[in-house]
Chains A and B, each alone.
Chain A
C-alpha cells in the first residue's frame, strides 16, 4: 500500500498555492507594473535554487472532510542561493489580501528570519504589503483588541547584528511593511511603483492632508531623505543591486568577506589624479572619478547617491579585498558634513565594522556645514553620532587627505584612539579653522587699529599662507606621508592586503542599529 493518494493531495494543494490570489489578481498585479512574489523570487535567486518552506500554509475551508476552498498565506518564504551562496528570502504576496499581515500565517512569517539567524545566512525581504495589523475589520473577527506588539521583532533586530539584511520596497508599503524595509543594512525602492509611509493617503486625509501616494511616500522623497538607501527604475534592477551588495559581504558576522582574484594591476597609476584638484580652493572637482580610478576597475558600488550628498558612500575592492569607501563630494557644501551626510556616514562605518570591511576615507572636508540651515537641522547631533561610529570602529582604517581637512569634522578623518594609515596629497590643506573667515576673528584688534585694514589683512594672510605648506606639517609628523596622487591605488591596495590579517570574525562590539 503506497502513499500516492496523500502525495497527490499535497500536490493538489501546492498547485492551489501557486495560483496565489487567482488569475484576476495576478493580472492586476502585472497591470500595475509589478511582478508576482513568485516571479520576484525566481528572478532574484540563482535559477532553480529556491527551496520553498510552508508552500501549502494558508487558510482552508472544508465541507465535512472535503477541502472546498484554499487561500495561500500571503508570504512566500524559503531559501536559495545568490552567486551560489545561501540566502533566506521572504516575499509578500500582494495578490492575497493586498499583502496585509492579517492574511499571513504568523509562524511562517517568522521562519525565514529565524532561518537567516540560526543558520547564518543573509535575508532578503521583498516587501509589497499594507502593514502589520491588517484592517480594523479584524476587530470583529477576533472579538477583542490588543496592545500593539510585534511578535518576533527581536529576531529581525538581532539579524541586523548577525547577517546581511536587505529590504526592498516593491509596492505601496505602510506600517510594519515600512519598518521591515528600513530595518536593514541596505534598502531600495522602485521608482513610481513603490511608496513607503507610516500610513497611506486615506488615513492621512483624515488628518487633513490631501496627497497622492507618490507625493506622500514616493522615491522622489524617500530616496532623497534617507528613508531608503537608493531608488531603482525596475524590479530587475533592484534584484541586480541586491546581488551586487551581497557580493561584498560575508554570509554572517562569523565569517570574513571573500577575497576575489583581481586582474586589475594594484600598481596602476592614473595620470589624471595629478591635476584633478584645482589650485584655486574655491573651485570644485568631481570626486567620483577619483574613486573609480583607484578601486579595482568597475568595483565601486555606491550606496545612497541621492541623499546625504556631501559624503559619497559605497563598497569597493582593492586588489580583490572588499572595503568600505567614504569620500567627500565638493559639489555639495564643499564636502562639509551635513546632518544627512553624517547619518549616512555613520551607517556605513557601522556596516563596515559589523561585516569586517576595512575602511578607506578620501577627505576633502571644510568642516561641518555652517549657517542657519545647518543649525536648524541639528547638524552637530548627527555629527557626533558619526564621530562615535568612527571612534568605536575596530576595522583597519586608511585616510587619504585629498584637499581640505578642517575643524571638528576634519578631525574625524580617522579614529583617533588607534593606529590608522594616512597619506596626504600635495593639495592637502588643514587646520582647526580655514584662513578665510578665521583670520578676521583672530586678528580683529590688529585690523581695527590698522590705518589700512585691507593692506594689513593681505599682509597677515601672506604670513599665514607661508606656514600652511603640508611639508611643514610633515616635518612635525602631523601628517605621516605626502604621496604622488597617481600612486594612491598602490598605497590603498597595500593597505587592503595588510588589513586582511587584522580582521577578526565575530559580532561587533557596537551592535548595528539601522
Chain B
C-alpha cells in the first residue's frame, strides 16, 4: 500500500480519478490550485486507487496524502 502525497499546498479542486482506477507514473490524479495556477498532481508510481484521502474543495498542505494505491 503506497500513499501519494500532494507536491504543493493549495486548494484541492478535484480528483481526476476515482477508487478502482488504475494509474501509472505521470497519470494526472488530481488538480490543485496553488500560486494562482492549476497544478496537476501526477502519480509517481503504478497501482490501483484504493482510497481518496482528502476532501475536494478544501485546503491541503504540501506532503499531505491525497490517495492510497494498492497493487
Residue in chain B with minimal CB distance to A366: B35
Assess A373 versus B37: contact at CB under 8 Å? Given A331-B7, A333-B8. no
A369 to B61, CA, bound (A): 13
**Bound Cα distance from A336 to B39, whole angstroms:** 12
**If the complex has contacts A331-B7, A334-B34, A373-B9, are A284 and B39 also in contact, measured as CB distance less than 8 A?**
yes
What B residues does A336 contact at CB under 8 A?
A: 35
Q: How far is the CB of A408 from chain B (nearest CB, A)?
A: 15
Give the docked Cα–Cα distance between A300 and B20 (Å): 37
Whether A436 contacts B62 by the Cβ 8 Å rule is no
Given the complex of chains A and B, what is the CA–CA distance between A333 and B34 in angstroms? 6
Selected from B7, B36, B38, B61, the residue in CB contact (under 8 A) with A332 is B7
Per the bound structure, the CA–CA distance linking A332 and B6 in Å amounts to: 10
Given the known inter-chain contacts A332-B7, A371-B9, please indicate yes or no for A284 contacting B36, CB distance below 8 A: no
Known: A309-B7, A332-B8. A366 touches B36 (CB 8 A): yes
Q: How large is the interface on B (under 10, 10 to 19, 20 to 34, 35 or more residues)?
A: 10 to 19
Establish whether residues A331 and B39, one from each chain, have CB atoms under 8 Å apart when the complex forms: yes
The minimal Cβ–Cβ distance linking A283 to chain B, given in whole angstroms, is: 6
Contact A370 B35, beta carbon cutoff 8 Å = yes
Question: Which B residues, 34 to 63, have Cβ-Cβ distances below 8 Å to chain A?
Answer: 34-40, 42, 61-62
The docked-state distance in angstroms from the alpha carbon of A373 to that of B7 is 13
Q: Could you tell me the distance between the alpha carbons of A284 and B35 in the complex, rounded to whole angstroms?
A: 12
Determine the distance from Cα of A387 to Cα of B61 in the docked complex, in whole angstroms.
27
Query: Once the chains are docked, how many angstroms separate the CA of A370 from the CA of B9?
Result: 11
Verify A334–B61 contact, CB threshold 8 A: no
**A330 close to B (CB within 8 Å):** yes
| Minimal Cβ-Cβ distance residue in B for A434 | B36
**How far is B42's CA from A371's CA once the two chains are assembled, in angstroms?**
23
The smallest beta-carbon distance between B13 and chain A, in angstroms, is 11
Q: Chain B residues with Cβ under 8 A from A208's Cβ?
A: none
Query: How far apart sit A218 and B40, CA to CA, in the bound complex (Å)?
Result: 27
Which residue of chain A has the shortest Cβ distance to B41 in the bound complex? A331
Q: Which residue of A lies closest to B63 (CB)?
A: A224
Determine the interface band of chain A, counting residues with CB < 8 A from chain B.
10 to 19
From B7, B35, B39, B40, name the one whose CB has the most chain A CB atoms within 10 angstroms.
Answer: B35
Within 8 Å by CB of A331, from B9, B36, B40, B61, lies: B40
Q: Are A284 and B62 in contact (CB under 8 A)?
A: no
**A373-B9, A373-B62 as given contacts; A436 in contact with B36, CB under 8 Å:** yes
Known: A332-B7, A332-B8, A373-B62. A283 touches B38 (CB 8 A): yes
| Bound complex: CA A111 to CA B62 (Å) | 44
Contacts of A333 in B (CB 8 A): 8, 34-35, 39
C-alpha gap A434/B37 in the complex (Å): 12
**Which residue of A284, A371, A437 contacts B40 across the interface (Cβ within 8 Å)?**
A284
Minimum CB–CB distance for A75 against chain B, Å: 37
With both chains docked as a complex, state the minimum distance between the C-beta of B6 and any C-beta of chain A, in angstroms: 11
Q: In whole angstroms, what is the CA distance A369 to B42 when docked? A: 20
Asked if A154 is at the interface (CB within 8 A of a chain B CB), the reply is: no
Q: Which residue of A lies closest to B37 (CB)?
A: A334
Instruction: Tell me the nearest residue of chain B to A367, going by C-beta.
Output: B35
Proximity bits, B16-40, A CB within 8 Å = 1, else 0: 0000000000000000001111111
**A369 touching B7, Cβ below 8 Å:** no
Residues of A contacting B40 in the complex (Cβ-Cβ under 8 angstroms): 284, 331
Distance between Cα atoms of A370 and B10 in the complex (Å)? 11
Query: In the complex, how many angstroms separate the beta carbon of A82 from the nearest chain B beta carbon?
Result: 31
A465 interface residue, CB < 8 Å from B?
A: no
Interface core residue of A284, A330, A333, A371 (most chain B CB under 10 Å): A333
Report whether B38 and A282 are in contact in the complex, using a CB–CB cutoff of 8 Å.
Answer: yes
Complex-state Cα separation, A370 to B8, whole angstroms: 12
Which 8 A-B pairs give the minimum distances between C-beta atoms? Answer: A334-B35, A334-B37, A333-B35, A373-B9, A282-B38, A336-B35, A282-B37, A333-B8
Q: List 22 A-B contacts (CB under 8 A).
A: A281-B37, A282-B36, A282-B38, A283-B37, A283-B38, A284-B39, A330-B37, A330-B39, A331-B40, A332-B7, A333-B8, A334-B34, A334-B35, A334-B36, A334-B37, A334-B39, A366-B35, A366-B37, A369-B35, A370-B35, A436-B36, A437-B36
Q: A283-B37, A334-B35, A373-B61 given. 14 additional CB < 8 A pairs?
A: A282-B38, A332-B7, A332-B39, A333-B34, A334-B34, A334-B36, A334-B37, A336-B35, A366-B36, A366-B37, A370-B35, A373-B9, A434-B36, A436-B36
- Give chain A's interface residues, CB within 8 Å of chain B: 281-284, 309, 330-334, 336, 366, 369-371, 373, 434, 436-437
